[in-house]
Amino acid sequence: MPDSDVTALTSELIQIDTTNRGGGDGRERPAAEYAARRLSEAGIESTLLESAPGRTNLVARIAGSEPERPALLVHGHLDVVPANAADWQVHPFSGEINDGMVWGRGAIDMKSMVAMVLAVARAWAREGRGPRRDVVVALTADEEDTGSFGAGWLADQRPDLFEGCTEGVSESGGYTLHANGRRLYPIGAAERGTAWLKLTARGSAGHGSRAHRDNAVAALAAAVNRIAEHRWPVRLTPTVRAAVVRVCEALDVPIDPDAADFDPDAMLAQLGPARRLLENTLRNSTNPTMLEAGYKVNVIPSAATAHVDGRVLPGAEEEFEKTVEELTGPNVDWEYYHREVSLSAPVDSPTFAAMADAVLAEDPGGHVVPYCVGGGTDAKQFSRLGILGYGFAPLTMPEDLDLQPLVHGVDERVPVEALEGGARILDRFLSSA
């Protein structure tokens, strides 16, 4: 079984600092080389592809016993977000193993999944087993920024490496979520689109002491406030509707999303921790995140800019753009700073069923539910190749440790038992899908 070395693999990957500071400042090559060595030890050859100095991706194909079937992509990113060591109990790149936990940046997001993939491949080689479908493993750079050095670059420059892949699995699903005395296992079957906006207001420069109606800062501030205060309407996409129904069924919460008096806020109030599977995907969202204007307190600048993190539900792009145009108004221009598509994959597919079966074989008392990922993953980039994406990086989390606050958080860590359970689930799924 793959759980025999998944802990060591996770620890060793964490010890490789692959911090992505954005704007091209990252270095994943040492982690890609480490993964290549571990696969080579199992007789699996991989290809390292560098999009820029140090920005290295790994791709390997493991042949299945039924090559006529569509191939399956399994992808994980090698980069991690920054971590300030002074804030942590242990050094964030120590990979320390204590108290039944593996500690460090990437323990959850997502070197644990990379380690599980390596562990499964190595177990197959040891035990003379393998998948039914061809499995293409992609370990990518730059997911924690725009993906332009990683999955985006691979999709644009080397689509040949993913020939035959029709579906893919990666982060944001498959873990245990304890809620109202039940164990839920959400599987990502959709993603909101990324719509990062840049707002620009222009006016006349002038002295701060004088009457001045053409003030760029004031125009921008008013637009930003309108955007922050806007309450987006509820839009139940097919995946979100399925998530509402199945989460409420699992928790014995009576609800009819088609009823005229459906109250999403009243529903969320009954779901305990499971509310976070739904609350961020019932609507589009726009959150102001950055402001920049001026250079001296007594000088009115001629321009002011702001950035807004927007997220868009599948099928809601036109409504989103029209609303942003109304909210910014005639005195503020806006444009996309970065944009990625929204995604949706079927929840009644054989692949979804195989993931659910693998989870329930490990935890027969669990409840598998679909959900829409509020943010985004590399699945967006791979969708350019026609690959449907699912969020499935299984971890059997204990009730006393909540996964979500650990993602990008201080003292990120993963229980050894969660890693071992997750590796067994991933092995079952990849062997049978």
Centre a 10 Å sphere on the Cβ of residue 249 and count the other Cβ atoms it contains.
Answer: 13
* Distance (Å, whole) CA 77 – CA 317: 27
Question: In the listed set 289, 322, 340, which residue is the last one of a domain according to the structure?
Answer: 340
Evaluate whether residue 15 is within a structural domain: yes
Q: What is the pLDDT of residue 203?
A: 93
- What pLDDT band is residue 395 in, cutting at 50, 70 and 90? very high
The pLDDT assigned to 282 comes to: 97
Domain that holds residue 239: 191-340
Q: What is the pLDDT of residues 115-129, one digit of tens each?
A: 999 999 999 999 999
Closest C-alpha to 116, from 404, 403, 394: 394
| Same domain, residue pair 217 and 326 | yes
This prediction's pTM: 0.93
159 and 18 part of one domain: yes
Same domain for 135 and 62: yes
Q: Which is it for the CA torsion 381, 383, 384, 385, positive or negative? A: positive
Q: What is the reported pLDDT for 211?
A: 83
Note whether residue 237 is domain-resident: yes
For residue 197, give the CATH number of its domain.
3.30.70.360
Statement to judge: residues 286 and 207 lie in one domain: yes
Q: Which helix (H) or strand (E) holds 309?
A: strand 303-312
350 domain-assigned: no
Q: Which of 324, 340, 356 is the last residue of a domain?
A: 340
Residue 363: inside a domain, yes or no? Answer: no
Same domain, 139 and 197: no
Q: pLDDT tens across 95-145, in order?
A: 999 999 999 999 999 999 999 999 999 999 999 999 999 999 999 999 999
Q: How many domains would you assign to the chain?
A: 2
Same domain, yes or no: 36 and 167:
yes
Q: Is residue 195 part of a domain?
A: yes
Q: Are residues 152 and 244 in the same domain?
A: no
Please tell me whether residues 28 and 148 are part of one structural domain: yes
Provide the CA 244 distance to its chain's centre, in angstroms.
20
Residues sharing a CB contact under 8 Å with residue 244, sequence separation 6 or more, in sequence order: 236, 255, 257, 267, 278
For residue 305, what pLDDT is reported?
A: 98
Q: 148 in a domain, yes or no?
A: yes
**Does the residue 369 lie in any domain?**
no
**Same structural domain for residues 156 and 15?**
yes
Distance separating alpha carbons of residues 45 and 32, to the nearest angstrom: 13
310 and 270 in a common domain? yes
Residue 59 lies in a domain: yes
- pLDDT tens column, 151-174: 999 999 999 999 999 999 999 999
List, for residues 322-371, the tens digit of each pLDDT value: 999 999 999 999 999 989 999 999 999 999 999 999 999 999 999 999 99
Percent of the chain with pLDDT over 70: 100
In tens, the pLDDT along 252-284 reads 999 999 999 999 999 999 999 999 999 999 999
**CATH number for the domain harbouring residue 118:** 3.40.630.10
Same domain, 100 and 229: no
Residue 274 in contact with residue 171, Cβ under 8 Å? no
Tell me, yes or no, whether 225 and 84 share the same domain: no
